[in-house]
Protein backbone atom coordinates (compact mmCIF):
# COMPACT_ATOMS: atom_id res chain seq x y z
CA UNK A 1 0.00 0.00 0.00
CA UNK A 2 1.23 3.52 -0.85
CA UNK A 3 1.96 5.89 1.99
CA UNK A 4 1.95 9.68 2.22
CA UNK A 5 1.45 12.13 -0.54
CA UNK A 6 -1.67 13.47 -2.14
CA UNK A 7 -3.30 12.56 -5.43
CA UNK A 8 -5.45 15.03 -7.34
CA UNK A 9 -7.98 14.56 -10.12
CA UNK A 10 -9.12 17.74 -11.87
CA UNK A 11 -11.99 17.46 -14.34
CA UNK A 12 -12.48 20.39 -16.75
CA UNK A 13 -15.04 20.83 -19.52
CA UNK A 14 -14.68 23.28 -22.41
CA UNK A 15 -17.45 25.59 -23.52
CA UNK A 16 -18.83 24.77 -26.96
CA UNK A 17 -16.33 25.74 -29.64
CA UNK A 18 -13.54 26.38 -27.08
CA UNK A 19 -12.08 22.85 -26.98
CA UNK A 20 -8.81 23.62 -28.81
CA UNK A 21 -8.19 26.86 -26.94
CA UNK A 22 -8.80 25.21 -23.58
CA UNK A 23 -6.62 22.22 -24.44
CA UNK A 24 -3.74 24.54 -25.40
CA UNK A 25 -4.11 26.63 -22.24
CA UNK A 26 -4.17 23.55 -20.02
CA UNK A 27 -1.21 21.97 -21.82
CA UNK A 28 0.88 25.10 -21.18
CA UNK A 29 1.16 24.29 -17.46
CA UNK A 30 2.25 20.64 -17.79
CA UNK A 31 6.01 21.00 -18.30
CA UNK A 32 6.59 23.84 -15.79
CA UNK A 33 4.55 21.93 -13.22
CA UNK A 34 6.55 18.73 -13.70
CA UNK A 35 9.67 20.71 -12.71
CA UNK A 36 8.14 21.94 -9.43
CA UNK A 37 9.45 20.66 -6.09
CA UNK A 38 7.10 18.00 -4.75
CA UNK A 39 5.56 17.06 -8.10
CA UNK A 40 5.70 13.27 -8.46
CA UNK A 41 3.56 13.10 -11.61
CA UNK A 42 1.36 15.51 -13.55
CA UNK A 43 -0.53 14.39 -16.64
CA UNK A 44 -3.22 15.98 -18.81
CA UNK A 45 -5.60 13.75 -20.76
CA UNK A 46 -8.37 14.45 -23.26
CA UNK A 47 -11.44 12.25 -23.51
CA UNK A 48 -11.32 10.22 -26.75
CA UNK A 49 -15.12 10.27 -27.14
CA UNK A 50 -15.73 13.87 -26.01
CA UNK A 51 -13.26 16.57 -27.12
CA UNK A 52 -14.64 19.04 -24.56
CA UNK A 53 -13.63 16.81 -21.61
CA UNK A 54 -10.16 17.11 -20.01
CA UNK A 55 -8.65 15.63 -16.86
CA UNK A 56 -5.46 16.29 -14.91
CA UNK A 57 -4.07 13.31 -12.98
CA UNK A 58 -1.60 14.54 -10.38
CA UNK A 59 0.55 13.13 -7.59
CA UNK A 60 2.30 15.34 -5.03
CA UNK A 61 4.60 14.60 -2.11
CA UNK A 62 2.22 16.45 0.21
CA UNK A 63 -0.34 19.20 0.72
CA UNK A 64 2.34 21.91 1.05
CA UNK A 65 3.74 21.13 -2.41
CA UNK A 66 0.25 21.16 -3.91
CA UNK A 67 -0.63 24.44 -2.20
CA UNK A 68 2.62 26.00 -3.51
CA UNK A 69 1.78 24.74 -7.01
CA UNK A 70 -1.54 26.59 -6.96
CA UNK A 71 0.33 29.88 -6.35
CA UNK A 72 2.91 29.55 -9.15
CA UNK A 73 2.86 32.14 -11.96
CA UNK A 74 2.09 29.54 -14.64
CA UNK A 75 -0.94 28.22 -12.74
CA UNK A 76 -2.32 31.62 -11.78
CA UNK A 77 -1.93 32.82 -15.39
CA UNK A 78 -3.66 29.70 -16.71
CA UNK A 79 -6.54 30.02 -14.27
CA UNK A 80 -7.04 33.65 -15.29
CA UNK A 81 -7.00 32.74 -18.99
CA UNK A 82 -9.33 29.74 -18.98
CA UNK A 83 -12.39 31.33 -17.33
CA UNK A 84 -14.14 32.23 -20.61
CA UNK A 85 -13.22 28.85 -22.11
CA UNK A 86 -14.97 26.74 -19.48
CA UNK A 87 -18.47 25.25 -19.59
CA UNK A 88 -18.52 25.31 -15.78
CA UNK A 89 -16.20 25.37 -12.79
CA UNK A 90 -13.42 22.78 -12.59
CA UNK A 91 -14.08 19.73 -10.40
CA UNK A 92 -10.97 19.43 -8.20
CA UNK A 93 -10.68 16.43 -5.87
CA UNK A 94 -7.82 15.55 -3.52
CA UNK A 95 -7.21 11.94 -2.50
CA UNK A 96 -5.05 10.24 0.13
CA UNK A 97 -3.94 6.63 0.53
CA UNK A 98 -6.33 4.37 2.41
- Domain with residue 61: its CATH number is 3.30.70.100
Domain count for the chain, please give it: 1
Which residue range forms the structural domain that includes residue 19? 6-95
38-56 pLDDT per residue, tens: 999 999 999 999 999 999 9
pLDDT classification of 3: cutoffs 50, 70, 90: low
Q: pLDDT tens digits, residue range 4-17?
A: 799 999 999 999 99
Of 4, 25, 5, 7, nearest to 93 by C-alpha is 7
Residue 19 lies in a domain: yes
Asked if residue 47 belongs to a domain, the reply is: yes
32 falls within a domain: yes
**DSSP E strands, the chain:** 6-13, 39-46, 53-60, 91-95
Q: What is the pTM of this model?
A: 0.91
Amino acid sequence: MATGGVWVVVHVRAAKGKEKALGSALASVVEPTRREPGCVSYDLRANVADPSDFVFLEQWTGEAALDAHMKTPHVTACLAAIGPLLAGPPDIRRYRPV
